[in-house]
């Protein structure tokens, strides 16, 4: 069984109607990953770190150990009565600038309405772990946001049903001291309730919440505590029953064991169960819950390790807070590991989905229906996706108009990067979408702004020449797009010369000249402004040589079907929209608009204190450059010995961030201690202290 991808990178699974090309904006560069053979035990997979992962300590959690790029990860999905909105964290801009993207799609036709993806938040530094709900008019997307170097906060943004982001800079929901992360959200008919993991008390994590109205006004500044029991409370989820909310979470109060607890919260923000409701306290660990209300009871599912291997269990809780299935009811006890479930309700039955390792070759997506009496209807489970390698971070909603479940997940079947996939499952438990792949015209694209320049990069699904593209720009998303002109610059120093033979130059080049053998030539090189395509030169003895260049309209080929273009005729602090137009025999194929918000040029050099500090295993170093030039960022020990060069390259004006993993240039892990990082940019030099703790 195979599927079309939601995000590139966004393909919806083969629809009931004829297949259509579906895609979303994603990064172009390809990074190799190790091929994983079939394993006899559960693999440890690595993903780009969410800053909150540094402090998340749930037993059995796979902690990030590498910094991936070009990934689409951790999807969440909600339904608005006609369309579904899938949101995810997206590193197309390059680590650590992880952003929040989304795309709407229509389950019946399989049409993705936002084929390039919608940038919901592309603020400085990283945004992670999104969640989404629908209020009857708009969606609310919430996420963990690290734009403030002092700590991770909770932000949100409303998105209407046309895919327009109503809060471009995000709504700060909670920016208390310490870290806040891993939010979830529900709607009560009047207001939203957002819940999250909160580290303001520094020693242990707690569960906090805040209400927000549909206009984006936060009603509980800094939030209120739902659970501050001893040790950690993590992984909150929330649902509404028509009268009150039920919040559930992973609870460490009987450390080292993990249990599932919950508490009811009124729409006015009053916590009714201050000591918590023990939903499952079986032996060993119960963690990672999800929750849905079925019209009579809540149904909570979780990952359960009571027999020494992780299975999926569930239990009903009534609106008074009474647990009706005190020991829990098994949903899946298949071979090996089942973990991280999600659940929805179709009006008759619940449908739970989870990550499943029964194949011993990689995680798959399985599901099962459970009726309102907690009876399991699919004893062996329903294989939703058994593609090669691993499928992780699953979520599910119910499309009531078409009476199908819509399952989304993070997929690594390409063994190159993570994409977002989806599948429909009907209420009888049949997976609707057969194997099918749509040939894409535009496979992916990205845009990155710095100072007064924007670089567009894109990947084609078909062969094309650079001369086939027109780049259009506007200062409004709805129209006024005009082609841009990119200037060819000259007057550069000598780069290389030769009296015979042939050679070819590849890259981003500016200018050209001719010379006699034995003479000199001028050739300018720019990594920032892509304006020429595959310049080359060859010389025959006794004859003059001309440097021949193929001058395209601002477009350069990177490799094969990968292209890029840089526009430097811009004003910092302004938002622009771009369209990439492929002009061919069959007409115009348009990709876009792609939104790029240029940050104002910093007024002065600045180096921020690394975060977190002390750190283990990663810290982020942010800095600002007011003028173009070569920038170096290096790490030294207390004796002044150079240990690591994090950056030594040209940078345009702008804000930047580098991640240090506590290793030296030779790759070895450095011991605990005090270290110093130094930024050099022209005549500017600044040094700050950072502490590595093991």
For residues 524 and 296, which has the higher predicted lDDT (pLDDT)? 296
Instruction: Specify the long-range contacts of residues 401-407, CB closer than 8 Å, at least 24 apart.
Output: 401/81, 401/82, 401/108, 402/107, 402/108, 403/346, 403/427, 404/107, 404/432, 405/344, 405/346, 405/351, 405/367, 406/77, 406/79, 406/84, 406/107, 407/353, 407/365, 407/367
Quote the tokens at residue 534.
């595959």
pLDDT class of 680 with cuts at 50, 70, 90: very high
What is the per-residue pLDDT across 583-613, written as a single tens digit (0 to 9) for each? 865 457 777 778 888 877 888 999 999 988 8
Average pLDDT over residues 418-426: 85
Residues 479 and 621 in one domain: no
What is the per-residue pLDDT across 397-421, written as a single tens digit (0 to 9) for each? 999 988 999 999 998 876 667 778 8
Residue 575 lies in a domain: yes
Pick left, alpha or beta for residue 432 (phi over 0 → left; psi -120 to 50 → alpha; otherwise beta).
Answer: alpha
pLDDT class of 153 with cuts at 50, 70, 90: very high
- What pLDDT is recorded for position 70? 62
- What pLDDT is recorded for position 554? 67
Average pLDDT over residues 143-171: 94
Number of domains composing the chain: 2
Residues 568 and 587 in one domain: yes
Residue 368 lies in a domain: no
Rg (CA), the chain: 27
Lowest mean pLDDT among 44-58, 98-112, 367-381: 44-58
pLDDT > 90 fraction of the chain, expressed in percent and rounded: 51
Residue 273 lies in a domain: no
What is the per-residue pLDDT across 135-144, written as a single tens digit (0 to 9) for each? 999 999 999 9
Q: In whole angstroms, what is the distance from residue 364 CA to residue 368 CA? A: 14
**3-state DSSP of 651-670:** ECCEEEEEEECCECCCCCEC
- Residues belonging to the chain: 694
Q: How far apart are the first and last CA of the chain?
A: 45
Lowest mean pLDDT among 24-28, 204-208, 664-668: 24-28
What's 581's domain CATH number? 2.60.40.10
- What pLDDT is recorded for position 426? 92
Q: Last residue of some domain: 600, 629, 659?
A: 600
* CA nearest neighbour of 24 among 74, 98, 88: 88
Q: In what order do the strands lie in the sheet with 673-681?
A: 642-651, 629-636, 673-681, 684-692
By residue range, what is the domain housing residue 478? 440-487+562-600
Q: In whole angstroms, what is the distance from residue 364 CA to residue 537 CA? A: 52
Residue 571 lies in a domain: yes
pLDDT > 70 fraction of the chain, expressed in percent and rounded: 75
* CA nearest neighbour of 524 among 476, 555, 490: 490
Q: In whole angstroms, what is the distance from residue 603 CA to residue 598 CA? A: 15
Residues 446 and 589 in one domain: yes
What is the per-residue pLDDT across 227-285, written as a single tens digit (0 to 9) for each? 999 999 999 999 999 999 999 999 999 989 999 999 999 999 999 999 999 999 999 99
DSSP readout, 265-329? E-TTS-BS-TT-EEEE--SS-EEEEEEEE-SSEEEEEEEE-TTSS-EEEEEEEETTS-BSSTT-E
For residues 634 and 526, which has the higher predicted lDDT (pLDDT)? 634
Q: In whole angstroms, what is the distance from residue 589 CA to residue 690 CA? A: 50
- What pLDDT is recorded for position 111? 63
What's 643's domain CATH number? 2.60.40.4070
- What pLDDT is recorded for position 58? 24
* CA nearest neighbour of 299 among 286, 283, 313: 313
Average pLDDT over residues 178-184: 96
Average pLDDT over residues 566-593: 77
Say if CB 658 and CB 646 are below 8 A apart. yes
Residue 668 lies in a domain: yes
Is the confidence at residue 168, as pLDDT, over 50? yes
Q: In whole angstroms, what is the distance from residue 544 CA to residue 81 CA? A: 71
Residue 417 lies in a domain: no
Residues 483 and 610 in one domain: no
Is the confidence at residue 174, as pLDDT, over 90? yes
Average pLDDT over residues 516-525: 35
- What pLDDT is recorded for position 461? 60
Q: Last residue of some domain: 572, 600, 628?
A: 600
Mean pLDDT, rounded, of the chain: 79
pLDDT class of 449 with cuts at 50, 70, 90: confident
For residues 651 and 672, which has the higher predicted lDDT (pLDDT)? 672
- What pLDDT is recorded for position 188? 98
Residues 631 and 672 in one domain: yes
Residues 572 and 688 in one domain: no
Residue 463 lies in a domain: yes
For residues 517 and 292, which has the higher predicted lDDT (pLDDT)? 292
Residues 687 and 611 in one domain: yes
Is the confidence at residue 430, as pLDDT, over 70? yes
Residues 572 and 445 in one domain: yes
Residue 71 lies in a domain: no
What is the per-residue pLDDT across 224-242, written as a single tens digit (0 to 9) for each? 999 999 999 999 999 999 9
pLDDT class of 290 with cuts at 50, 70, 90: very high
* CA nearest neighbour of 260 among 238, 285, 231: 285
Residues 679 and 595 in one domain: no
Helices (H) and strands (E) in the chain, counts: 0, 51
Residues 467 and 573 in one domain: yes
Quote the tokens at residue 383.
């294989």
pLDDT class of 388 with cuts at 50, 70, 90: confident
Is the confidence at residue 651, as pLDDT, over 90? no
Q: Last residue of some domain: 600, 629, 657?
A: 600
Average pLDDT over residues 475-479: 77
- What pLDDT is recorded for position 416? 60
For residues 70 and 86, which has the higher predicted lDDT (pLDDT)? 86
- What pLDDT is recorded for position 115? 61
Is the confidence at residue 387, as pLDDT, over 90? no
Residues 581 and 675 in one domain: no
For residues 569 and 628, which has the higher predicted lDDT (pLDDT)? 628
Residues 667 and 653 in one domain: yes
């Amino acid at each position: 069984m195979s599927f079309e991808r939601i995000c590139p990178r966004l393909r919806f699974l083969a629809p009931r109607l004829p297949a259509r090309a579906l895609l979303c904006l994603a990064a172009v560069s390809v990074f190799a990953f190790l091929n994983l053979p079939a394993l006899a035990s559960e693999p440890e997979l690595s993903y780009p770190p969410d800053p909150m992962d540094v402090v998340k300590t749930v037993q059995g959690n796979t902690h990030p150990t590498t910094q991936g790029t070009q990934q689409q990860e951790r999807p969440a999905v909600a339904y608005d009565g006609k369309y579904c909105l899938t949101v995810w964290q997206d590193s197309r801009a390059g680590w650590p600038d992880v952003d929040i993207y989304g795309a709407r799609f229509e389950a019946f036709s399989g049409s993705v309405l936002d084929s390039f993806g919608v940038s919901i938040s592309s603020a400085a530094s990283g945004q992670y772990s999104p969640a989404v709900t629908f209020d009857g008019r708009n969606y609310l997307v919430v996420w963990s946001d690290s734009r403030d170097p002092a700590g991770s906060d909770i932000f949100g943004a409303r998105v209407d049903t046309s895919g327009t982001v109503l809060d471009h800079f995000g709504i700060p929901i909670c920016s208390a001291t310490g870290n806040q992360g891993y939010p979830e959200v529900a709607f009560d008919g009047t207001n939203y309730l957002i819940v999250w993991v909160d580290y303001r008390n520094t020693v242990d994590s707690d569960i906090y919440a805040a209400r927000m109205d549909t206009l984006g006004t936060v009603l509980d500044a800094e939030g209120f505590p739902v659970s501050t029991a001893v040790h950690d409370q993590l992984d909150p989820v929330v649902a509404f029953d028509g009268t009150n909310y039920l919040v559930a979470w992973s609870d460490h109060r009987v450390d080292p064991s993990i249990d599932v607890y919950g508490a009811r919260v009124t729409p006015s923000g009053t916590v009714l169960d201050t000591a918590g409701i023990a939903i499952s306290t079986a032996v060993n660990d119960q963690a990672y819950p999800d929750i849905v209300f079925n019209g009579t009871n809540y149904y909570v599912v979780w990952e359960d390790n009571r027999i020494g291997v992780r299975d999926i269990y569930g239990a009903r809780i009534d609106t008074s807070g009474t647990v009706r299935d005190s020991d829990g009811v098994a949903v899946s006890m298949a071979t090996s590991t089942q973990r991280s479930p999600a659940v929805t309700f179709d009006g008759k039955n619940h449908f739970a989905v989870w990550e499943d390792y029964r194949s011993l070759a990689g995680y798959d997506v399985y599901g099962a229906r459970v009726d309102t009496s907690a009876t399991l209807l699919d004893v062996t489970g329903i294989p939703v996706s058994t593609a090669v390698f691993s499928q992780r971070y699953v979520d599910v909603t119910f499309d009531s108009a078409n009476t199908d479940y819509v399952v989304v997940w993070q997929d690594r079947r390409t063994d190159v990067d993570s994409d977002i996939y989806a599948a429909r499952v009907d209420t009888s438990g049949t997976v609707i979408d057969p194997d099918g792949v749509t040939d894409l015209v535009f496979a992916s694209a990205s845009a990155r702004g710095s100072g007064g320049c924007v670089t567009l990069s894109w990947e084609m699904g078909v062969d094309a020449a650079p001369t086939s593209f027109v780049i259009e720009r506007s200062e409004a998303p709805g129209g006024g797009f005009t082609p841009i002109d990119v200037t060819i610059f000259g007057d550069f120093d000598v780069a290389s010369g030769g009296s015979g033979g042939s050679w070819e130059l590849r890259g981003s080049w500016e200018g050209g000249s001719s010379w006699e053998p034995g003479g000199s030539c001028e050739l300018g090189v720019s990594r920032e402004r892509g304006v020429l395509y595959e310049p080359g030169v060859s010389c025959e003895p006794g004859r003059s040589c001309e440097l021949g260049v193929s001058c395209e309209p601002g477009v350069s080929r990177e490799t094969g079907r990968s292209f890029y273009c840089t526009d430097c005729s811009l004003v910092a602090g302004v938002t622009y929209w771009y369209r990439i137009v492929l002009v061919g025999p069959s007409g115009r194929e348009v990709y876009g608009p792609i939104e790029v918000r240029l940050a104002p040029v910093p007024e002065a050099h600045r180096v921020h204190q690394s975060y977190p500090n002390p750190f283990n295993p990663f810290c982020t170093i942010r800095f600002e450059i007011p003028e173009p030039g070569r920038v170096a960022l290096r790490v030294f020990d207390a004796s002044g010995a150079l240990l690591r060069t994090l950056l030594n390259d040209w940078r345009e004006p702008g804000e930047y961030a580098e991640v240090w993993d506590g290793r030296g240039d030779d790759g070895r892990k450095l011991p605990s201690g005090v270290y110093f990082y130094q930024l050099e940019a022209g005549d500017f030099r600044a040094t700050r202290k950072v502490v590595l703790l093991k």
